Amino acid sequence: MFSQEFQAYSSQAASDEITWKKPRTILVVIAWSIISTSIMLNAFLSGSQTLGYTFWSISTAAPLLLLFVVSVLAGVLLADIKSIVLGVFEALALTIFLTYTGIALPLLVGNAPSFYANAILETAIYEVFSMFFPLIPFSFLIGAVMGGFLEDWLF
Amino acid sequence: MAILARSNLKMLRKQNLPATVFFAITIISAATLAVPLWNYTQYYSALYNFNYIIQRITINTSQLSAHMAQINFTLVATNPTPYSGLQVGPAQCEIDFFGGIHLDRNGQPTTYWELTKLYITKTRPICPNSNLTIPFGTTINPDNTKLSSDQYAAFQEFINYLTSLDPKGEITLVLICHLGLQSFMVSLDIAPVGGNPFMQNIPLSQSTT
């Protein structure tokens, strides 16, 4: 009796897990991107935007550290290595896109004068690349992989 | 059964705790971004709405016969924008540029400009992004300015000149020069259409929005 109940419960739980896993992964990646975008844009708007080139200062190391912590947390939630590796690329791409959109937002919402359109777009591209490369992708990947291992160890 | 349910609940709690924390952080981080991003966007919007007074404008017309002139003007920015984040108070900007307009071989008016002096007596970073820090600034909307076609061509050429000064998008100089240009256009605007754009009877003080 107990065995049957347990089997039924287990199969139901496994089914629920399969059903929930995909949207959960998508949600985690989106949330990861939003947090990362927020960190990067706050860094940009506070003036410490050249993360890639001036890593060894507190103001620029702080966002990097925050991104690493967030990546660890995302790795814990994504758990398996396939989701983590795919999630890193997806989250990174989405973060870059959102950050670019954020920097170019005055232009997109029509607040910036047309004279500055090119300047803003060029600034956005330059800032995004100087902020993200080369350190941020490593931060994402290493943090998420560490989170995956941590998940195995913890749960 | 009860033990199994309790252990599963415990497991669920364990699994949901990081997720809960993660999504809470998402909401908090999105919330913390909202205000700076709004300010950043409004900063550009505020550049349209700018009151200033041309405190002094002088034009050296000694070379007027050669269709050249030297313009010097002092601008005082007053209440640059209703947006509270950009209240910089009075700021003074003295600009001096040398320019000329002449007809080319085809009889088309051609202008050239040279910024010879730029002096700002009060500056304050008004944008959180240090790369976009400007003393104060405005831009002009040529559609709202009554210009003759020659004047508009001169304006376009001047803009091109300013842009060529600053191809990397250092907005500061361009914005300041826009102020100069705007005051220059004020002086143009009172010139009779088709007449010499460098008028000698420039009012000492004008205000525009």
As a whole number, the mean pLDDT across chain B is 51
pTM of the predicted model, to two decimals?
0.56
| Average pLDDT rounded to a whole number, residues A41-70 | 67
A87, pLDDT greater than 80: yes
State pLDDT tens for residues B116-157. Answer: 554 444 333 333 333 332 222 333 333 333 444 554 554 455
Q: Give the residue extent of every domain in chain B.
A: 1-46, 50-208
Confidence band for B79, pLDDT divided at 50, 70 and 90:
very low
Position B58 scores a pLDDT of: 58
- B170, closest residue in chain A (CA to CA): A119
A122 touches B: beta carbon within 8 Å: yes
State pLDDT tens for residues A110-151. Answer: 777 666 677 677 778 877 888 888 888 999 999 999 999 888
Nearest neighbour of B129 by CB, restricted to A38, A45, A119: A45
Q: Which residues of B touch A74 (CB under 8 A)?
A: 22
Which of A69-73, B25-29, B170-174 is the least confident region?
B170-174
Q: Which residues of A touch B143 (CB under 8 A)?
A: none
Position A79 scores a pLDDT of: 80
Higher pLDDT: A5 or B176? It is: A5
Extract the tokens encoding B202: 């420039």
pLDDT above 90 coverage of chain A, percent: 33
State pLDDT tens for residues B177-199. Answer: 454 444 444 444 332 233 223 22
- B48, closest residue in chain A (CA to CA): A113
Nearest-CA distance B66 → chain A (Å): 31
Give the HSE-up count for residue A86: Cα atoms under 13 Å, Cβ half-sphere: 10
Higher pLDDT: A146 or B164? It is: A146
Position A89 scores a pLDDT of: 94
Confidence band for A32, pLDDT divided at 50, 70 and 90:
very high
Q: What is the ipTM of this complex?
A: 0.77
Interface with chain A: mutation pick from B40, B160, B166, B171, highest number of A CBs within 10 Å: B40
- A105, closest residue in chain B (CA to CA): B41
CB contact under 8 A, A49 and B129: yes
As a whole number, the mean pLDDT across chain A is 78
A28 touches B: beta carbon within 8 Å: yes
CB contact under 8 A, B33 and A41: yes
Position B39 scores a pLDDT of: 74
Q: Which residues of B touch A94 (CB under 8 A)?
A: none
Confidence band for A64, pLDDT divided at 50, 70 and 90:
confident
Interface with chain A: mutation pick from B1, B4, B15, B22, highest number of A CBs within 10 Å: B22
Q: Which residues of A touch B38 (CB under 8 A)?
A: none
Position A109 scores a pLDDT of: 84
3-class secondary structure for chain A? CHHHHHHHHHHHHHHHHHHHHHHHHHHHHHHHHHHHHHHHHHHHHCCCCCCCCCCCCHHHHHHHHHHHHHHHHHHHHHCCHHHHHHHHHHHHHHHHHHHHHHHCHHHHCCCCCHHHHHHHHHHHHHHHHHHHCCHHHHHHHHHHHHHHHHHHHHC
Position B28 scores a pLDDT of: 92
